């Protein structure tokens, strides 16, 4: 019985002993993060960045995109574009401005 108690005390002392490595951890002394450092490890949502970039691209369109949209709104230009392409259709209908 005495050996069983001594063995139990030794097992408990071996398993409950806190080594120096466990004391090195910063969480041991202060388990809570600073409010400013709480989001340091979280990446910003890339979808929001993509949506923002898309909105910027919508504001600054290429000239060819503006020409294509203008041609799509005018039915004869759109029909001409189906056969000859949007660049040729825009040039045909809107390229030459007649001034009198």
Residue range 32-39: mean pLDDT, rounded: 69
CB atoms within 10 A of CB 72: 13
At residue 19, does pLDDT exceed 70?
A: no
0.75 exceeded by pTM: no
> Would you give the DSSP letter of residue 41?
T
Report the chain's mean pLDDT, rounded to a whole number. 77
pLDDT value for 77? 93
């Amino acid at each position: 019985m005495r050996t069983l108690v001594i063995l139990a005390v030794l097992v408990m002392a071996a398993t409950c002993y806190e080594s120096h490595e466990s004391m090195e951890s910063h969480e041991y002394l202060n388990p809570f993060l600073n409010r400013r450092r709480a989001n340091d490890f979280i990446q910003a949502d890339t979808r929001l960045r993509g949506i923002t970039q898309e909105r910027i691209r919508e504001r600054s369109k290429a000239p060819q995109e503006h020409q294509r949209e203008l041609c799509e709104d005018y039915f004869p230009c759109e029909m001409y574009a189906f056969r000859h392409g949007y660049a040729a259709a825009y040039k045909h209908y809107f390229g030459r401005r007649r001034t009198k």
